[in-house]
Chains A and B, each alone.
Chain A
Amino acid sequence: DAKTTQPPSMDCAEGRAANLPCNHSTISGNEYVYWYRQIHSQGPQYIIHGLKNNETNEMASLIITEDRKSSTLILPHATLRDTAVYYCIVRPAFGYSTLTFGKGTMLLVSP
């Protein structure tokens, strides 16, 4: 099973920031935090990943706590198209390792 804990659902108003939390208290030193999302049974879409530093790309920002036991995905200006299930996944840095998906957080962005 996935070694992460996420709230089952969250709501966000369009145009506001969406902050999605994830707990990964058993993360080990060589494991990265990955975020994917899945829009209505489409293929999972990569968003961002990080090891210990905060990361930002054109889609989102990832804030990882100093002890690495939790992280927050931030969508700075959520749109209706950001309505999706968001998955937080920890994965070793090396090897063939696969992605283990949990149930994720269903984010509903409303007008």
Chain B
Amino acid sequence: EPEVTQTPSHQVTQMGQEVILRCVPISNHLYFYWYRQILGQKVEFLVSFYNNEISEKSEIFDDQFSVERPDGSNFTLKIRSTKLEDSAMYFCASREGQGTDTQYFGPGTRLTVL
């Protein structure tokens, strides 16, 4: 069964460093998402992406964040200058198309900022 994959599973970085989290969505899906979950808190929406542009973003997704689909398979989240409060699980999700299509989530990347 097709699934969303994410790499790395765990990333440790120093405050102020740039990180890139990678996702491979399900191959025929057109809509892509990033969510995050700070330890012990709710899953929060960051950004959605369709047709090579951001379609929606939350107030969390400030200028320090960017997303890209550099090729036909990868979808990346970049954090330009990490802060301690960026430590969280980051989940990528994808869905096929419009309507009631379901979002399928990857296993997540645990980001630890020291």
Hey, which bits of chain A sit against chain B, CB under 8 A? Answer: 32, 34, 38, 41-46, 49, 51, 87, 93-103
CB of B45 within 8 Å of the partner chain: yes
Q: Main SS of the interface on chain B?
A: strand
Across the interface, B104 reaches (CB within 8 A) one of A34, A46, A100, namely A46
Asked if A99 and B91 sit within 8 Å, CB to CB, the answer is no
Q: Which of A32, A41, A96 contacts B37 (CB 8 A)?
A: A41
- Spot the interface stretch: B11-19, B73-81, B94-102: B94-102
Closest to A32 in B: B100
Within 8 A of A (CB), among B78-114: 89, 91, 93, 98-100, 102-108
Does residue B68 face the partner (Cβ distance < 8 Å to A)?
A: no
Please determine whether B107 and A42 come into contact, CB atoms closer than 8 angstroms.
Answer: yes
Q: By CB atoms of chain A within 10 A, which of B43, B104, B108 has the most?
A: B43
Total interface residues on B, CB under 8 Å, equals 26
Q: Which residues of B contact A42 (CB under 8 A)?
A: 107-108
**Of listed A32, A34, A46, A87, residue having the most chain B CB within 10 A:** A46
Look across to chain A and name the residue whose beta carbon is closest to the beta carbon of B108.
A43
| Chain A residues within 8 Å of B98, by CB | 94-95
A-B contacts, 16 listed (Cβ < 8 Å): A32-B100, A41-B37, A43-B93, A43-B108, A45-B105, A46-B102, A49-B102, A93-B100, A96-B56, A97-B56, A98-B33, A98-B45, A99-B35, A99-B45, A99-B93, A101-B43
Having A41-B108, A99-B103, one finds 7 other A-B pairs with CB under 8 Å, namely A34-B102, A96-B50, A96-B56, A98-B33, A99-B35, A99-B93, A101-B35
